[in-house]
Amino acid sequence: MEAYFAGGCFWCINMPISLIEGVKKVIAGYSGGDEINPKYEDVKKQLTGHRENIKIIYDENIVSFGEILDVFLLNVDPFDEYGQFIDKGHSYTLAIYYNSEIEREIAYQKIKEIEEESNKKVYISVEKFKSFYEAEEYHQDFYLKHKDEFKKEMEESGRNDYLKNK
């Protein structure tokens, strides 16, 4: 099975999703826009309509879409309508791209639960999946290949502090 989530910086959301038992692979890429084969610099500059996104390949006999979505939601700030942490603009906003009505229903149910528990508006777009473009090789498994730079990104972005206080 495959799932597609935009969680701001794809480097930062890749790691916690990769650690889920039953997740076989997480691929950094771009979704949501109409441009074919977008490039990182153009996505980052808000020129393509795409978001930084991850493609999650998983074994549905081990982990469900809903369980993966729960981990995703624990690692993002659902109340930021402008992006995630220091990364602002459409390409860093949150989205769940669904492949079936069941996934769509699960996504809306989770959003509803967060809003009811927090009494705050959640800014997560729920959209029908239309395309995924794999990001440049440099971005794949960034947290493993560039450990010091990844650690610095997590600290300087404010994501680590947010997660500690969640």
- Cβ atoms of 38 and 137 within 8 Å: the answer is no
Q: Write out the two tokens for 161.
A: 């502090």
User: Could you give the CA distance from residue 160 to residue 89 in angstroms, rounded to a whole number?
Assistant: 20
Among 30, 67, 36, smallest CA distance to 51 is for: 30
Q: How far is CA 37 from the centre of its chain?
A: 19
Within 13 Å and on the Cβ side, how many CA atoms surround 50? 30
| Positive/negative CA dihedral, 52, 130, 94, 5 | negative
Residue that is written with structure tokens 């069941």 in the block:
102
Q: Which of 9, 76, 122, 124 is catalytic?
A: 9
- 12 noted as active-site residue: no
Q: What residues are labeled active site?
A: 9
